[in-house]
């Protein structure tokens, strides 16, 4: 099953992506006398992995606007330097354990929307990284690797951005360099785990201005998705809707006017336009 949040007639709704378009959950409920939440996060929290779409007239994709599956994930964890090529690209050493860090929900942008680069005095060297993300499906702790797949709800694509010049100043600035406004997005589609029989066979591709910037297979990660789920569950409880973005083979240095896209066959694709930001103070008294 492929879930997404879409905007139609000025309102956001959950839907199931079909070959013919998007079947709205509200229409599915009416047709099949169900009470499925009109929220992708609500569907994940109730661990609903199959939704009937028969007899429901889908909306054409052209009639809708894709949105973030949910705007405030419970947790956003990302993994740095998980591919050798990325470590080489920024002249860094791959860590023995997963190099994980958190991102705030305030850095999110809508799928297909704009990455607004910070003013140059904040950062003048930004890269964008297409990644595969794991979406957690149930609350869990101390999950053995061999059981990790059972707690995964599904998979999605992400774009993770880094202010490389900020990071170069000091590795302790990693979270800061990753948390600037519009430095993360995911979706628009979440694919349930049953549709991905072989996670290791997925190829993660980052495209930059229409060309391929980097590509590599999940099997070449230093720490693969099931291991990442198990590892992080040792330190804290994972909750439904948590995201673990698993890393990029190599990022694309971006500038205003560029386009970037994360693409994973069998999972989905996520695109963005790059625009210049300005220093516009607000929220305080002059």
Q: What is the gyration radius of the CA atoms in the chain, in angstroms? A: 19
Give residue 87's pLDDT. 64
Which architecture characterizes domain 76-276 according to CATH? Answer: Alpha-Beta Complex (3.90)
Kindly report the backbone phi and psi dihedral angles of residue 190, in degrees, each rounded to the nearest multiple of 5, phi listed first.
-110, 125
Q: Is 95 exposed, middle or buried (0-12, 13-18, 19+ CB in 10 A)?
A: middle
Query: Tens of pLDDT along 203-216?
Result: 999 999 999 999 99
Percent of the chain with pLDDT strictly greater than 70: 98
How much is the mean pLDDT over the chain?
Answer: 95
Please compute the mean of the pLDDT values over residues 183-196 and round it to a whole number. Answer: 97
Residues 6+ apart with CB under 8 A from 33: none
The predicted structure's pLDDT at residue 11:
96
Q: Give, as one character, the DSSP assignment of residue 96.
A: S
Q: Give the confidence band of 92 by pLDDT, cuts at 50, 70, 90.
A: low
In whole angstroms, give the CA distance from residue 19 to residue 91. Answer: 43
- Look at residue 80 and tell me whether its pLDDT is greater than 90: no
Note every long-range contact of 178-182, with CB atoms under 8 Å and residues 24 or more positions apart, other chains counting.
178/78, 178/101, 178/103, 178/107, 179/103, 179/104, 179/106, 179/107, 180/107, 180/118, 180/122, 180/123, 181/106, 181/107, 181/116, 181/118, 182/107, 182/108, 182/109, 182/113, 182/114, 182/115, 182/116
Compute the half-sphere exposure of residue 172: CA atoms within 13 Å on the CB side of its CA: 0
* pLDDT score recorded for residue 86: 64
Share of the chain above pLDDT 90, in %: 89
Kindly report the number of other CB atoms within 10 A of residue 113's CB atom: 18
Average pLDDT over residues 165-173: 93
- Gap between the Cα atoms of 153 and 271, Å rounded: 23
Which helix (H) or strand (E) element contains residue 85?
helix 84-89
Average of per-residue pLDDT across 30-40 = 97
Q: Which residue, among 239, 245, 267, 244, has the nearest Cα to 45 in the 3D structure?
A: 239
Q: What is the mean pLDDT of residues 121-137?
A: 97
Count helices and strands (H / E) in the chain: 6, 17
Q: Is 15 in contact with 4 (CB distance < 8 Å)?
A: yes
CATH 3.90.850.10 in the chain, residue ranges: 76-276
Taking the C-alpha atoms of residue 211 and residue 99, their distance in angstroms, rounded to an integer, is 28
The answer to whether residue 118 scores a pLDDT higher than 70 is yes
Query: Residue 70: what are its φ and ψ, rounded to 5°?
Result: -155, 140
Contact (CB, 8 A) for 163 and 204: no
Cα torsion for 6, 53, 37, 137, to the nearest 10°? -90
């Amino acid at each position: 099953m492929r879930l997404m949040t879409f905007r139609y007639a000025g309102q956001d709704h959950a839907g199931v992506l079909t070959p013919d378009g998007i079947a709205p959950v509200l229409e599915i409920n009416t047709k099949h006398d169900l009470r499925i939440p009109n929220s992708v996060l609500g569907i994940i929290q109730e661990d609903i992995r199959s939704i009937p779409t028969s007899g429901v007239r889908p909306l054409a994709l052209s009639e809708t606007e894709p949105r973030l599956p949910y705007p405030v994930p419970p947790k956003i964890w990302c993994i740095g330097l998980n591919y050798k090529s990325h470590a080489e690209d920024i002249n860094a050493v791959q860590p023995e354990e997963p190099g994980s860090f958190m991102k705030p929900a305030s850095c999110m942008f809508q799928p297909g929307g704009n990455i607004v680069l910070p003013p140059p005095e904040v950062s003048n060297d930004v890269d964008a990284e297409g990644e595969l993300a794991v979406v957690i499906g149930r609350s869990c702790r101390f999950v053995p690797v061999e059981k990790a797949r059972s707690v995964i709800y599904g998979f999605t694509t992400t774009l993770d951005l880094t202010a490389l010049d900020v990071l170069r100043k000091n590795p302790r600035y990693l979270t800061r360099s990753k948390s600037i406004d519009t430095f993360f997005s995911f979706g628009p589609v979440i694919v349930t785990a049953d549709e991905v029989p072989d996670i290791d066979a997925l190829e993660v591709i980052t495209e930059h201005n229409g060309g391929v910037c980097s590509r590599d297979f999940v099997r070449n990660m230093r720490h693969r998705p099931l291991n990442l789920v198990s590892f992080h569950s040792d330190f804290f409880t994972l909750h439904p809707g948590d995201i673990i973005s698993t890393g990029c083979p190599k990022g694309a240095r971006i500038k205003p006017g560029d386009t970037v896209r994360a693409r994973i066959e069998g999972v989905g694709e996520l695109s963005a336009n790059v625009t210049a930001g300005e220093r516009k103070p607000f929220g305080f008294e002059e």
